Amino acid sequence: MTSVTPQPAKHKKARALKPSSRRPAKELCSECGLCDTYYIHYVKEACAFLNQQIADLETKAHGRSRNLDHPDDWYFGVNQKMITAKKINPIEGAQWTGIVSTIAMEMLKQGKVEGVVCVQNTKEDRFQPMPIIARTPEEVLAARVNKPTLSPNLSVLEQVEQSGMKRLLVIGVGCQIQALRSVQNELGLEKLYVLGTPCVDNVNREGLQKFLETTSRSPETVVHYEFMQDFRIHFKHEDGSIEKVPFFGLKTNQLKDVFASSCMSCFDYVNSLADLVVGYMGAPFGWQWILVRNDIGQELLDLVQDQLETQPVMSKGDRKQAVQQSIPAYDKGVTLPMWAAKMMGVVIEKIGPKGLEYARFSIDSHFTRNYLYLKRNHPEKLEAHVPEYAKRIVEQYKLPD
Ligand code: FAD
Ligand code: SF4
């Protein structure tokens, strides 16, 4: 009998790209980090912007893909349950109440995983992402709060395989998770948990600076910000003060090119492939919105259930007219005078969509905008890149040519 020398997996012979090299997805690259590792070997199949394969990956991760006969599936993806929740004792300095960080810390404390992929910031810059594999709850805690910039979370994947780690939790946004799902069987893991957040309108570090400088009264003191359900952006400053700027008063003409091209071409706002998703936009103000996509997601949620106050999801209002009106306004880069923007914000907040209907409003507005962006800038990608569920969402509206 001849002995066979085990061959290293093919990907180990591949070379990560240098930071300065152009990525395979070119300007659509979201800097997810995959190409910073030898898993670049799989990029043609795995990259969310080269090979949109959400339906297939949903089947692998959740046992089924979206049911296209159900509009709620178009919007929210495969899920067993949706609830709204907040931590009874919120984590100071978290983006919302810190449900994501709490789950990840519990996973380590209870020995369910050996590491957590998450993203801290560099010492010099609170908004410069620094992905890590956290091995202690303290390291997870230090990764709390959004880095509102493209973050190469998957750049640490080589370290996972090299460390011999067998059980891992990854926290990430949709494009990162799509690539992760494609390569998850190559990581040498026995168990993978995926905890996602929704994501939209992300920017690179320079884009973030421009956004802050055009929109906030004091860009250098912003600690975090969020596009809120009251149709305003809430900037939290170092001194704890909150500055509110109405969406309708944004200088759209100056901000048109700020968002990354990847985010202008993204149709995975709600992180379709994560086991559990924690956001806010389907919840009343102050609450977080949780989607349990499969049994693994339920296992993640169960870990912190006793630390949460929960209530059922609700839905109120009708978004359709507001979305239809926002389409040409955004397209033409119309900016309202601040007094009119404030007034419009107040009226819409009173009579506008709430709960899940607000989430649908936000999804509709972004998908119609992104569809137009793709049609104008990458028409050759339109057919294959836009998932079937997103086409159905967009078809509900009249779009300019
Ligand atoms: P925390 O406990 O503060 O933990 C935040 C976690 O996010 C950390 O573990 C960190 O590792 C991870 N993280 C931070 N920045 C990034 C990044 N750039 N890429 C990947 N992971 C990151 N929710 C909505 O409902 N609607 C939205 O439109 C929406 N937009 C978002 C845009 C961005 C860029 C991001 C990162 C998140 C967005 N979210 C959105 C999710 C929401 O803002 C909160 O992150 C989520 O509700 C969790 O809050 P928390 O207090 O539990 O998180
Ligand atoms: Fe590579 Fe990720 Fe960029 Fe695609 S999005 S080219 S996988 S770094």
Amino acid at residue number 299: E
CA-nearest residue, atom 29 of ligand 1: 199
- Residue 242: half-sphere exposure toward Cβ, Cα within 13 Å: 9
147 Cβ closer than 6 Å to some ligand 1 atom: yes
Question: Of 335, 57, 312, nearest to 180 (Cα)?
Answer: 57
The 10s digit of each residue's pLDDT in 312-349 is 999 999 999 888 988 887 777 666 666 666 666 776 77
Q: What is the pTM of this model?
A: 0.94
Q: What is the mean pLDDT of residues 31-44?
A: 97
The 10s digit of each residue's pLDDT in 251-265 is 777 777 888 999 999
Q: What is the DSSP letter of 220?
A: G
Angle of helix 174-183 relative to helix 54-62, nearest 10 degrees, comes to 70
CA of 40 to the centre of ligand 2 (A): 8
145 Cβ closer than 6 Å to some ligand 1 atom: yes
Is the model's pLDDT at 218 over the cut of 80? yes
pLDDT of residue 2: 47
Mutate which of 145, 178, 197 for ligand 1? The one with the most ligand atoms within 8 Å of its CB, which is 197
Question: Of 136, 129, 177, nearest to 157 (Cα)?
Answer: 177
CA-nearest residue, atom 2 of ligand 2: 32
Whether complex ipTM tops 0.90: yes
CA of 330 to the centre of ligand 2 (A): 28
Number of helices and strands in the chain (H, E): 16, 13
Confidence of residue 1 (pLDDT cuts 50, 70, 90): very low
